[in-house]
Structure formats: C-alpha cells, structure tokens
Structure 1
Amino acid sequence: MKTKKYILYIIIIIMALSLAACKKAETPKVSFDGYIAEWQKNDFTAMYKRLSAESKKNISEKDFVDRYKNIYEGINVNKLSVKPTYPEKFSADKDNKVHFPFAVTMDSIAGPIQFTSEVTLVQEKEGKTKKWNIIWNEKMIFPQLEAGDKVKYEKDNFKAKRGEIKDRNGKGLAVNGMTIGVDTGKIQGDKTAFEKQVADILGAVPDQIHKQISVSWAKPGVFVPIAAISKNDIDRLNKLIAIKGVTTQEKGQRAYPYNEAAAHLIGYVGSITPEELEKVKDQGYTKDDLIGKNGLEKVFEKKLKGENGAIVYTTDSKGNKKQTLAQKLPKNGEDITLTIDIDMQQALYTQLNGEPGTAVSVHPVTGEVLAMVSSPAYNPNLFLMGLTDKQWGDLNNNPKKPLTNRFEASFAPGSTFKPVTAAIGLKTSKLDPNKAVNITGKSWQKDSSWGKYSVTRVDESVSNVDLSTALIHSDNIYFAQAALAIGKEDFAKGAADFGIGEKIPFVYPLKASQLTSGTSLDKDIQLADSGYGQAQVSMNPLQLALIYGSLVNGGYVPSPILDMKDKAQNPTIWKDKVISKENSDIIVKDLVQVIENPSGTGHQAQIPGKTIAGKTGTAEIKQSQDDTNGKENGWFVAFDVNNPHLVVLMMIEDVKNKGGSHYAVPKVQAVMQQFLK
C-alpha cells in the first residue's frame, strides 16, 4: 500500500513539473507580446533584453536605449499602438526563424505616423531554456531608416500665429508685434547709457534690459530679443532703430499697445509652467509654448492659441534630408473682435487718474460691453520682458493694489441701489411715488428694539419726502422705510428678479452680486439698510450698469456680451420684464431730476443739449455705526434718456475727504460728453 502511495506521489510531482515546463515554454507570440508591452511603455532597456545574440553584437544596450529615447522624446511620440498579425500556426524555417507582419501607429509633434513592417524571431538557447528572440534592425524604428540615418524635426517655421484681440473698430489690443532685439557687438559707447536709453523708450527699467542682454549666449552677431511693440507704434520703433545695437525682427511676439488702460481686461501671455503643461499636455502644448496667464488672453486661450505644425524627416549621416515621416501645417489662432471701444476704455482709465476704482460702460439695449476698466493697473508688456525683483515688489506691495482686478469684484453700492428698491416697491405696490413721507431730523429708527442703532441721512432740510425728492436728495431714511414696507420676502424676490444672487452669464468670470451673505434677510435693521445699498448688499459693477439699462430698454436686463460674434439681431435677454414701462418712466423721470435739479446730487453731470439721468452713491465701509475711521467708496451711474445706447458707471475707492460720490460725477460727465456727440 505504501509503495502505491509512493508511486502516486512521484506521478504527481512529474505532472507538476511538466505543467510548469509547459507554462515556461515560450512561443513567438508570448515573446513578441512582451516586447510590444515594453515598447508601449517606452521601457527600452527591457526591449533590448529580448534581442537576439546577433542583434546585441551589432548594437550595445546603451546605444539601443539612447537611439529610441532620443528619437521618441525629440518628436514627442505618444499614443503608440503596435498590432501584430500572428499566423494561425507558427512554422519555423530551416534557420529556426519565424516571420510575421506588424502595424504601428503613433502621434508625433508633426501629427500621426503609421507604418507596417515585418519582424523576425529566432529561437536561441539561453542556459537550459529556449527563447524566441527578436532580430532587430533600424527599420523596426521606422522602415525608412538605415544604419547611420537620423530622425530630425523642425517646428520654428511651422509655428501658428496667435490670434489677435481687437476692439470693435479694429484697433489692436493684443497684437503680434515687432520683436525688438539687441546685437551686443554693435552697441556703441557706454553700455549703461545704452540700457537706460532703450529702457526709457520701452517704459522699462535699465536693470531689465541689462538682465536680458547679459545672458550667456548673447554674443556679437546674435539677435537677443528684449521686447515686442505694435507695428503701428511708428514713433517708438523709429527711436529704437536709431540706437546702434538695436535691431528688429518681423517674427512678432505679443504686444499690448494700450498698456495699463486695458491691462486687467486683456491680460497677458507668458511661458507655460510645468504645472500648467501638466493640465493641458493633451491639447497640443509643449514646454516651449506661451499661454494666457490672465484676462482675455486666458479666457479666450483655446480660440487664440492655434495649432503649431512641424515636420519629421530622416537624414543620412551627412545631414542630407531623405524622407518625410510626418508633416503638419500650422493652423493660426482665431482673431477676436470685442465689443469694447478702446477710446472709451482709455478715456475712463484717464479719468480715474491712478485712483483705486473701476469703471464700466454698456449698451443698455444690446448688452454690448463698451469698456471695463480697473485702476490702477500695470503694464502687461513688462511681464513679457520679465519683471525685475524691484518691479514685482513695487507692484505687489503698492497700497493701491494695481494687480487687483476691481471690475471682476463686487462692492457695497450705496445709494446707486436705491432705484432697485424703488422698482421693487413700485412693482409690489408697497411704494406710492406720489405720497410724501414726513421725515424730520437727521436720524431715524423703527422703534426702541433697534437700541442705539439708527438710519441717518445727509440732507435733513427736506421733511415731506416723496420718491422724486428722495432720489434727488438721496434720502437714506425714505428708502429704509420703503424696504421695511416691502418686507423681507418681497424685497429678496424683487432683487432676485434682477439677477442679484445669480452667476452673471458672461464670458469673463465675475463675482456674483448679492443681497445678503446669508440665506435670508435676518433682521429689520439689515432690511432697512439694504434699502439704500448698505448692510450686506454687494454689487458687481457690470451687473449694476446692466440693471440701470433695464430702465430705458423696455424693462429687461440684457445678457452682457464681449465678443462681437455674439452680437445678434435681437439682444439676448438675461432677465425679462423686471420693470414695467410705467414704473421705469417714473424712476427715469426722477433720475433726470437728480441731474437737472440744482439740489440734485448729480447736478454736475449736466450736458448741454442732452437729457441725462443718473444716481450717485456713497458706500460706507466701516465696522460699526460709531466707526469714524471707516472709508467711503464713491459711485456714479448715468445714461442718456433720449438716445439709450450708453450707460456709464464709475466707482472710486476712499473718497471720504474728496467729496464722496460727487468726486466721480464730473469724471463720468466728461466721458459721456465726449461720446454723446
């Protein structure tokens, strides 16, 4: 019995060994499948281990790995696919070799490459086992390759032109300008004086120019790019070209002709960072590309970028071109024409005169955005040249915050919100425009539950206050009482009808306006203060301008548009029927008096021959009612009543000792007078 068990054990062991041998037995398919898996992972070292003994004599492991690596990395091979066509049954020839075809597809810097070839495997003994090894030659990389041939690519002559950004009249806001460069071998006289002269013309600092022309490769006869300017900037071009050592190239870099005036709107481009490249590497970007960093350069990046082309080809050992493997022609980026009027943009920026603030202008009927200004700003051309540490420090530490984009933010609107309260009150029938409310004194509170808190007004000379009087004199108490009469729910719903609290449907991302930072108006004090644009009310400047547009366009808030391609025969409406004609006529008539009445807070905005309506607003930014050190932001919104194609809004920060909102009135008036001719 023991003998039979012993024999059974022996049989089991033999069978196990046989099965193990079967599992280890390599076929040509197993070998080439492994080679393919390593090939698709770019594991060239593992691939080399599968080569035949004869192949290894012809090329070292280092040369094999370097050959593949240099070619694949150079032409940016990706999405590699290898598909062999195996025979139904492998049959070795008299030399113990098998042959079968395979097809390769891959993407490259110059587009797709595909080819078919044939592989030969030979069975060779390695130790006690037999393996099917690949007989390798250059043609397994590309069939066109011979020993000594090289694979090269060119892309400099295949670069796509970045699309340009233009204003509504075709004026370039972001252009592919002339490249300004320096040949250090042609500089005459003192180098320091040269750097200062060039810097002064470019609006840079001498250290910036010095840094750029001091790179190791800046040798005599070499073009060292330092900046780009618009081809239309003839005056500066002539001044630069007149300096010995300065030269130009037609091959343009990005240039921003309007400098600070459009900086936050247009933005700028810069070299792509490794982090950015990781996010967009599947979109045709390489480490050498530029990418929009902010502003519309970033917003419209996909449209502006275009697609670079390239050519991949083989050369012989002497560098003579042999065959093209792939070629992709460049596809230039799309030019974008904005609804912006750069002359108005410049005029508003000039009026702000470096003060921290913002200004926007819109067409109230179509929703076209005519200007979006943030002040102070920076010169985007300097970012292209490379900011010095001092320049960056000056921008970053400037108390006026020139790097902050104010038109994308939201702010307490102060009394410019009062027409919204009036519109809600009229719609809900909780406000009678003709009823005079008896208001005495400078302050008022609902009852003793408010404790020490009260609503205050600036002008206490008027006691019988109706809607017109309240708007002319900007009476906070009247609108606080109106908001309380409307009630929390109707007030919140009325604000929502104007889109307050919603994302603004605009290509440029903007912060949404809000009535409250919470979910509801919690207390009567908050509701009362909201009635005149304080408490937690926060308005984006563009949205507030669009809301004023509803007063003269028939009662809708248009969707703002920035790309002229979006301009349609009929305007796109964001919020429809927000105010009836009857109610808008009432409010507009009163807003006209804000300008025409000598007591009106916007009286300085009068324009001879024009009927201008508008509203001032002084928003208090303070910690409590007793805070005497708080700041004030001054607002003014105005529009032409009889020719409703222009609404202009300006907000200037910290106007407490400059006349409050009155500080903004003549600035808006000057721009409107210029553009309402």
Structure 2
Amino acid sequence: MKLKTYLKLTVLSTFLIAYMLISTSCTGLSKAEQAYNNFTEKWATADYSSMYEMLTNESKEYISEDDFISRYTNIFSAINANNLTFEIDGEKIKEDGIITIPFKLTMNTLTGDLSLTDYKLTLVKEDKDYKIKWNESLIFPNMVKDDKVRVSTTQAKRGSILDRNGTVLAEDGTLVTVGIYPSNFNKSNVEAKITEIANALDISEDNITSKLNANTNPEHFIPLVDVLPNDSKLSTLKNRDEEGILLNEKVGRVYYGGESFGRLIGYIGSITAEELESNIEKGYSDTSLIGKAGLEQVYEDTLRGNDAAEIYIERGMDRITIASTEVKDGNDIKLSIDTDLQNKIYSEMTGEKGAATAVDPKTGEVLAMVSAPSYDSNTFTTYISKTQEAKWEENDHTDEINRFNKTYSPGSTMKFLTSVIGLENGVIDPNEEKDIEGLTWQEDSSWGDYKITRVIDPGKSVNLKDAANYSDNIYYAQVALELGSEKFINGLKNFGVGEELTFEYPMETTQISNDGELSRDILLADTGYGQGEIMVTPLHMALFYSTLANEGNIMQPRLVISQNSESKVWKEGLISKDNLKTLVDTFTALINDSGATLADGAVPGHRVAGKSGSAEIKESQDDTNGTENGWFVSVDPDSSKISIAMIIEDVKGRGGSHVTIPKVRNVMDYYLNK
C-alpha cells in the first residue's frame, strides 16, 4: 500500500510540475502578447510618449524620449502614414526568458497602401513586466543605427480645363513669387523699399513688416505674394538681388477666363485639416492643393494627378527604397462652353446680380453658364489686393453666391409650360376666347379677399395668343384650375420639374410646391401663371423653351463633353406636331408681330420665340416692400442654335423684366449672327 501511495504521489507531483511549467510559459506569452498589443495600439494612435515608457532601461539609455518621439513623429508624418494596423506574423519565440513576436505593419502612405513584414518585437522581463527592447528596426525592419529616412516627391501635373474649341481655361502654368532676401534687404533703405513694394503690389506695409520681423534667418527667402507673370503690378518691380528684392518663378494654377468664368471654373487652394481628414485615404498631405469651388472642386478626382513619391533609407551613399510610386498626371476635361458667348453674356450682366444659362437645343450642350457678379479665379491662387478686398466689402461679398445653380420662382416664363400642358390635355383651344373682365378675378367667395390680378385689360375676350402677349395671369390661372392638380402636376413632371437632374454640375432640385402637391385652388391657380411655390433653375428654363427648336423634345443637358460626348433625349414627345406649330406662333408673335409687348426682345433678321417674367418676392399679396426678379427666355425655333434663360435680381422700380430683355436680345443677336 505504501508503494502504491508513493507512486501515486510521484505521478501527481510530476503532473503538477509539468502543469506549472506549461502554465508559467503560457502566462509569460500572454503577458508578452498583452505588451505587444499595448505597444502597437499606442503606435497606431501616434502616442509615442506612451510607447517610450514601455521600453527597457537599456533602450532608454540608447535613445532619449525627445529623440524617440521626434523620430517617430517626423518620419510617420513625412510619409503621411495613417490607418496603421498590426498583425502577428509567425510563431512567437521564447528563449532564455526573452520573447520575440514577429509582426507586420500595414498602413496608407503617400505611396499608397504599404505592407511591411519582418518586424520583430523583442520583450524582456523587467520589474515584473515585459518591456520592449528597442532599436531602429522598430521604425522600419531594415533600418540600422545612423540611417536616415527620406521622402522624395515629384509633383504631378493637374489636368487642364478646356472650352469646346480647345481653348485653355485653367492649367498648371507659371507664377512669380515676389519676396525678400533679408540679408541684403536690411542693409539700407528698408522703410522706403517696404513702401515701394506695398504700393506696387497694392498690399499693406504692415503685411510686409510683420513677415520680415517674424523671420529669424537672414539667409532665408521670405515670400510675400504670388502674381501672374503678365500682371501690370510687376512693371515697377524688378529682380534686384543686391537690394534683397527677388522675383522667383514657380509652378502654379493659372486661369484665363477672367470674371465671366470664375463661378463656373472655381479655383484650388491649400487643403484644410477638415478636407484632409475627409480625404484621408486619397493620398493627400497637409501641403496638398485641392479644388475649392466650381468645376475644380466638382472634378477634383479627375483633374488631380498622383505625385511620384519614394520613401527610402539613406545609409551613407546608399539609397534603400522602402516604397515608391510613379507620377500620374491628372486628366483634362473639355467643356461644351463657348468662351466668347460666356464672355458676351457676362458683359451684358455687368453691374447686376443674376444668372444665365444657354443650351444648344439639338444636342443638349450647355453653351454658357454665368453667375453675376463673379470673381477672377486667379485672385485665389495669387493674392487679394487692398483694392479687391475693398470691392468685396462694398458689394457685401455678393460674388460668393453661385446663382446659376440656384432655383428661382419662374414668374410669367411659367406660362409657356402652362400653355403646353393645357394644349396637350385639350383644355386650351388656341382659337377659343375667354371672356375676362377687369384687372382682378377670383374663382368664388371662398377665396376671401384673395384675388388674381393682371396688368393689362385688353377690353376684349382673349385667346391663347392674346393671353401670352398680354401675359394674362387670370387666363393662365383659369387654365390651371380647369386642368386640375393631377393633370397639371403630371404635365410639370413630364418636363422634369421636381426630378433630380443628372448633370455634371450640382444643381438645386426644382420643385412644384413645397410639399409637391397643389391641393389648394389658390396655389394651383397661382402656379399656372408662375407664382405659387414652383421653383426652377435658369438651366431648366432654357431646356423647357428648347422644345420649340427641337420638335417638342428636351435633350439631356451636357457640360463636360470629354466624358459625356453622346447626345441623348431626356424628355421625348412633350409637344405634339400641331401644338408645336401653335406654340411657336404664339411665343414668336409676342416678340416679332405688330403690337408685340416684348418687341424689345426682337433680333433683326431672325425669328425668335420667348417670354419674359417678373417673379414677385413678397410675404403676402398686400406686401409692398417685396422685390422682383426679372426673367427673359429666348430661343430661335428656325435655326435651332440656342435657347437662353436669364434672370436679373432686384428689378423692381427699374422696369421689371424689361431690364433683362435687351440683355438677352443682345446676346441672341451676337450669337445668331456670328
């Protein structure tokens, strides 16, 4: 019995010792893995100070905390590292109390996604905890002492923006940096030279003085502003090295369209922290330029190139590449815009607030998109002078509003759509005359005090042609009521009102009403003549009237023809053949015939159709303090070259829509005769 008991105890002891050894080993590995996890988690969040605290005492003697933090910060910032992930990559090794954990690091850098293997984290038991034995291989696996990490980049060319004829509107070109070389500049006549530069560049002397005082290195070039090489401000400034005034050339974004193109083309600028965060995986860095407005912003991904980049280790005379990418220039975009037409429209709108859009009725190509007032895009890639700043302050920065993609109340230009819908639904007989008396009307007493007014009482019954010519609100309100909300809404939807438009430039969405319904008779009636709550863009209005020059069809609008080269019908068969003839006759008569109310829109030698409209912006029917916007839409139904819609804001007391009519007429005259 004693022997059996002894044997049992021996077996049990052996088992317990083995278990304890295995358990101790597992516990060691578990604590080591925990240390690995802590270290890599701190690394992923750039908590380099906490990483340093996890090093062995020997490692801390090898590198100071400041140097440790500085190296990681500088290197991983320089390579634009983000989204760091770590993964154990192989078997863990335990030998003589030292545990080695192999791992790999994956991250996004300026060279793209980068995965590095062969990292080894060596952990040593110290003060009851596992500490990291550090050397340079924990920056990059093949680094050794005294290696330097370098980054080399070659800037990619940003794509150009061209008009329909290949004329360059925006490209990477040459800018001139005006600056100071303090070592020579401070030798003599400092105040006089500061005054000279300030006057020549139209900037404040304080701006120059503050930059000069902030500089601590007299051999360091101080850039003041960038200017275009042909800028007249450079005529009085020359490269005077001996006086410390330098003019250095650099690559920069150059725009050629002037103010007429500013709101359309936009500009690029230095990336913000927010933009960098939202584009974290696209390879931007804190020194990147990015599209800020207009097509430069909308087509950022197309225009932007990818810089060539190399991350490498410099070891004496050797260059050891860690990762690299080749340069990839951005792609050009070609627009459907006619530069001369864009300039002509903008010149007609000078001094006004408004917008205009012109389209080719047969192709859907957008020939012009203008917002006024606008800006010269070069202002944002060079600098803002005192004169320019004062101009912006004076006009309350109104050029910061992009108007061509905004929606507006259409006013009486809406009467064309009501005419189409009424004819196509058999509600309007063009020869039938409505007996309307006086200047005011309401359907019945349920309307209370609300009445629809018209400007002219012709003293006779009116048919469609009369109603269009006299812009008879009562006639069109009655048509809308006779149609009823369902037919009227369906008719508007056929034209794309309330539908999200597929187009290369973001546009505000049009609406039939605030809730998409016309459930109230007054709202239905008001919508029939263009008040109510209906909202459209100038592009939509130009497209609506283009049906008169394209057999009752609307083409899909196109702006970037380098990518969208094929003409396609967007809305087909909106107007039947017989009704199309009626509508062309009706909406040309009010411009071209004897007794036409819009004779100031006539273009000598051409028959044009169109309609004006004054959209009242007021709180109620009795509001006398509201303002008006003036519309005019014009299209050539015979040659089918252009349909243009223009709106001018704040025309009340200035002639209403007749402020807009001659501007559009001049554009039509120019374009149809060029």
Tell me if both proteins adopt one fold, taking TM over 0.5 as the criterion. yes
| Deviation, structure 1 residue 433 | 0.6
Matches within 5 A, 1:105-124: 105-111=106-112, 113=114, 116-117=117-118, 119=120
TM-aligned CA deviation for residue 255 of structure 1: 2.8
User: 1:77 matched to which residue of 2?
Assistant: 81
3-state SS, counterpart of residue 564 of structure 1: coil
Is this contact kept in 2: 1:633–1:661, CA < 8 A? yes
Number of the residue aligned with 2:531:
534
Could you give the per-residue CA deviations for residues 117-156 of structure 1, whole angstroms, max 9, x where no partner exists?
Answer: 474858x6646x6x7766543334334433222112133x
| 1:432 counterpart = 2:429 | yes
**In structure 2, how many angstroms separate the alpha carbons of the residues matched to 1:305 and 1:412?**
37
Q: For 1:196-251, what per-residue CA distance to the aligned partner results, in whole angstroms no more than 9, with x for missing partners? A: 2233xxxxx5569748965734967726251243x7xx474973765768765553
Counterparts of 1:74-153 in structure 2, within 5 Å, are: 74-78=78-82, 79-86=84-91, 92=95, 103-111=104-112, 113=114, 116-117=117-118, 119=120, 126=126, 136-153=134-151
Decide whether aligned partners of structure 1 residues 464 and 19 sit closer, same or farther in structure 2, where only a CA change above 3 A counts: farther
Equivalent of 1:576 in 550, 553, 572: 572
Say if 1:520 and 1:111 are closer, same or farther in 2 by CA, change over 3 A: closer
- The amino acid that maps onto 1:284 is G
AA of the residue aligned to 1:620: E
1:251 paired to 2:250: yes
Determine the structure 1 residue equivalent to 2:605: 609
Tell which deviates more after alignment, 379-388 or 613-622: 379-388
Which of 443, 450, 454 aligns to 2:451? It is 454
- 2: distance between equivalents of 1:627 and 1:539? 23
User: Aligned partner of 1:76: which letter?
Assistant: N
8 Å Cα contact 1:241-1:247 kept in structure 2: no
2:423 is paired with a residue whose SS is helix
Residue 474 of structure 1, aligned match among 433, 450, 471 = 471
SS at match of 1:153: strand
| Aligned 1:271-282 pairs, distance under 5 A | 271-282=270-281
Q: Distance in 1 between matches of 2:509 and 2:280?
A: 32
Distance 1:65 1:399 in 2: 48
TM-superposition CA deviations, 1:452-477 (whole Å, max 9, x none): 33222222235131111221222222
Q: Deviations over 1:276-297 (max 9, x none)?
A: 2211112111111122222212
Amino acid at match of 1:417: M
Q: Kindly provide the amino acid, as one letter, of the partner of residue 90 in structure 2.
A: T
Instruction: Tell me the distance in 2 between the aligned counterparts of 1:152 and 1:439.
Output: 84
Sort the Cα spacing of 1:447 and 1:400 in 2 relative to 1 into closer, same or farther, 3 A.
farther
Cα deviation, 1:376-408, whole Å, max 9, x if unaligned, reads 223333333455899668636735822222112
Change (3 A) 1:429 1:96: closer
8 Å CA contact 1:614–1:639 kept in 2: the answer is: yes
Contact persistence 2:518–2:524 (CA under 8 A): yes
User: Quick one: distance in 1 between partners of 2:608 and 2:210?
Assistant: 52
Distance 2:366 2:336 in 1: 6
Give the counterpart of 2:349 among 343, 349, 352: 352
Q: Give the equivalent residue in structure 1 for 2:40.
A: 39
2:322 is equivalent to residue 325 of structure 1: yes
Counterpart AA for 1:288:
T
Counterpart check, 1:197 vs 2:200: yes
CA distance in 2, matches of 1:430, 1:140: 82
Distance 1:107 1:456, change over 3 A: closer
1:54: how far off?
Answer: 5.2
Structure 1 residue 116: Cα displacement: 4.8
Give the counterpart of 2:638 among 642, 645, 649: 642
1:176 aligns with 2:172: yes
User: Counterparts of 2:52 and 2:63 in 1: how far apart (Å)?
Assistant: 10
- 2:303 aligned with 1:310, yes or no? no
**Native 8 Å contact 2:194 2:209 kept in 1:** no
Unpaired runs of 5+ residues, structure 1, are: 1-10, 200-204
- Ranges in structure 2 where 5+ consecutive residues have no aligned partner: 1-11
Deviation at 1:674, TM superposition (A): 1.3
One-letter amino acid of the counterpart of residue 198, structure 1: L
**Partners of 1:184 and 1:69 in 2: how far apart?**
32
AA aligned to 2:300 is E
Cα shift at 1:522:
3.1
Structure 1 stretch 246-255 or stretch 557-566: which is displaced more? 246-255
Cα deviation digits, residues 494-553 of structure 1 (max 9, x gap): 111111112222222211222211342232222222111112222211111111112221
Query: 1:193 & 1:60 partners in 2: Cα distance?
Result: 50
**What is the rounded CA distance, in whole Å, between the counterparts of 1:31 and 1:241 in structure 2?**
67
Deviation at residue 337 of structure 1 after TM alignment:
1.3
Q: Secondary structure at the match of 1:492?
A: helix
Cross-structure match for 1:380: 377
Q: 1:558 to 1:61 in 2, by over 3 A?
A: same
Match of residue 595 from structure 2: 599
Report deviation, 1:258.
2.6
Deviation at 1:308, TM superposition (A): 2.4
Q: CA deviation at 1:632?
A: 1.9
* Matched residue, 1:365: 362
Q: Greater CA deviation, 131-140 or 558-567?
A: 131-140
Report if aligned partners of 1:513, 1:538 keep a CA contact under 8 Å in 2: yes
Count of matched residue positions in the alignment of Structure 1 and Structure 2: 646
Q: Does 1:167 align with 2:163?
A: yes
1:2-55 CA deviation, whole Å, 9 max, x = no partner?
xxxxxxxxx9xx999x87993685546862673265235415556556656655
Give the 3 Å change call, closer, same or farther, for CA 35–389 of structure 1 in structure 2. farther
In the alignment, is the contact (CA less than 8 A) between 2:600 and 2:662 conserved in 1? yes
Partner residue of 2:581 out of 573, 581, 585:
585
Distance 1:212 1:566 in 2: 48
Q: Which amino acid aligns with 2:601?
A: A
SS in 1 for 2:23: helix
Q: Deviations over 1:346-395 (max 9, x none)?
A: 11111012211111111112211111111122333333345589966863
Closer, same or farther in 2 for the Cα pair 1:352/1:66, shift >3 Å?
closer
Give, as a single letter, the amino acid of the residue that structure 1 aligns with 2:615.
Answer: A
1:202: which partner in 2?
none
In structure 2, the partner of 1:512 is: 509
Distance 1:227 1:172, change over 3 A: farther
Q: CA offsets per residue over residues 431-466 of structure 1, 9 Å max, x none?
A: 101112223322222233333332222222351311
Match of 1:669 in 2: 665
Rounded to whole Å, the distance in 2 between the matches of 1:668 and 1:623 is: 29
The TM-score with structure 1 as length reference comes to 0.85
| Alpha-carbon distance in 1 for matches of 2:473, 2:392 | 38
Q: Tell me whether 1:154 sits opposite 2:152 in the alignment.
A: yes
Counterpart of 2:487? Answer: 490
Contact between 2:548 and 2:635, CA under 8 Å: does it hold in 1? no
1:214–1:482 CA distance, 2 compared to 1 (3 A): farther
The answer to whether the aligner puts 1:525 opposite 2:529 as a matched pair is no
TM-score by length of 2: 0.86
Q: Deviations over 1:306-362 (max 9, x none)?
A: 222322222347xx5532322222222222111112221111111012211111111
Compared with structure 1, are the counterparts of its residues 194 and 100 closer, same or farther at alpha carbon in structure 2 (3 Å cutoff)? closer
In structure 1, which of residues 549, 554, 576 is the aligned counterpart of residue 551 of structure 2?
554
1:402–1:598 CA distance, 2 compared to 1 (3 A): farther
Which residue in the other structure is 1:6 paired with? none
After the TM superposition, which of the residue ranges 598-607 and 34-43 deviates more from structure 2?
34-43
CA distance in 2, matches of 1:620, 1:503: 25
SS at match of 2:600: helix
More displaced 10-residue stretch of structure 1: 513-522 or 212-221? 212-221
CA shift in 2, pair 1:114/1:539, >3 Å: closer
CA contact (8 A) 1:28 1:121 kept: no
